[in-house]
Structure 1
Amino acid sequence: MDMQAREDARRWLAEAGVTQVGDDAWADADAPEKRLTANDVAQSWAGQVFTDESLDAAGQLRLAFGLLDLLDDYWVTCEIRLADRGPSGPLPSDVLWDGYRRRLEAPETADAVTYSLWVDWFEDRATSATAFAEVLGHDGHLLTDPAPEPLLRRARRVLECSGPVPWPEKETAYGLAARVPALHPALFKGLLGGYRDVYGDLEPSAASDLLARLRLPADTEHLAELRAVLAAGHRNHHRSPRAWAEARQSPGLPEA
């Protein structure tokens, strides 16, 4: 979280007459009797950031990230993406991806950021390769054991939501992450998402080999099923919906 950007966003809202009056309560000077939620503020004001002519594109983007820190609301990330992909875009890529990386590394929760990566940037084939490379792929070579905790935090969060990223774009980073035992649970979630997500993507043989390298508790939920469907050559649950149920009926697994 960028405290300066957060306070800049707070001042910007205050200049527009919007002030915080509680943990998740805001007031607008134009309707002081009505209480707004953080989502209400995001819906009304996040898009307005990109019409502020007193700021250049980089300044608008930094202010938008400040609003994200202040409101912790997914809609702010939607407006960032709309601005980047819209007629006035793209936004400055260095500011955009630095903003994502910094929040992925922060100790604070990053649910809005990871959800944004998962359902917007990673599911879209026009942006998935660039987004994954920017938030993790380019730094895969830095994943060592031990690795700095901020980098591990970022890697965990990205790996867990990376199921929709095309396999060729993430395979190298996955292999590098497998060298770090602390990342194995997150990498497992990435592989599981690659199989079970609607837009998940993986190559069964390579994914199976990678899964075999992970040090995971034997009772890890869905581990046995994932091993079985990958060994059978299945690429995605939604292409072979019966395969998962058949894997669960294997000896030693509970009934579905």
Structure 2
Amino acid sequence: MKELFSNFGRIQKNDPEFHEIFEKFAYGEVFEYSNLSEKESILVTLASLLACQSPKAFKKILLAALDMDLTAEEIKELLYQSVPYVGFARAHNFFGIVIKVFNKKGIELPLPNRSNTNPENRHKKGRELQDKYFGAEIIQMMNDNTPADQQHFNRFLEGFCFGDFYTRDGLNDQERELITFVFLASLGGCESQLMGHIQGNLNAGNDKEKLISALTVVMPYIGFPRTLNALSIVNESCE
């Protein structure tokens, strides 16, 4: 992670005092309390920077990440996964950043198609994943309790969020749910959704310790209030 932070040369040159403080904390002390792999650490960092709308830092870390453990396909899938949660208005600029970085690295575009659904089965496959992550009874109860004039939002979740994105190759179930947890924690104000995706993480195979580690890694980027809010929900949900 220090290799990633070394890209912030302008800060180091013009404000060495802050650079030293932040580097020792964010890329030293923080990692003494995380059990994430290097790849997972980079994924959650990029996810947090995207949700927090920090394009310059995202680009600098992405440049280094592609020389380490992350593949172009995994970066593409992180972008895709972000759209249902942060919205395309927030994700749009990051698509442009990734395209520029890929071009600079000589990565041929477009990348191969990773979709596993079509217009006929996207809702069915999306519902299957919703049931897998959150439980069929919970999803059915949500649908039954939604007023008729709002049912289309459930259809959007089923077909767009889960059918179009969660079914894709490129990231596994644990990675998708982990970065989704980080998107929501980084946005703030998404407590009910965060609670749902904590359960989704547990069902996908990520344990409480991994969620705490993810918050530990992204805390320098999202600050204490959002971190402690998310940590409180993790503790409540994992009792």
Regarding TM over 0.5, the answer is no
Q: Which has the higher contact order (CA 8 A, sep 6+)?
A: 2
Higher strand share: 1
TM-score (norm 2): 0.32
TM-score (norm 1): 0.30
Higher-Rg structure is 1
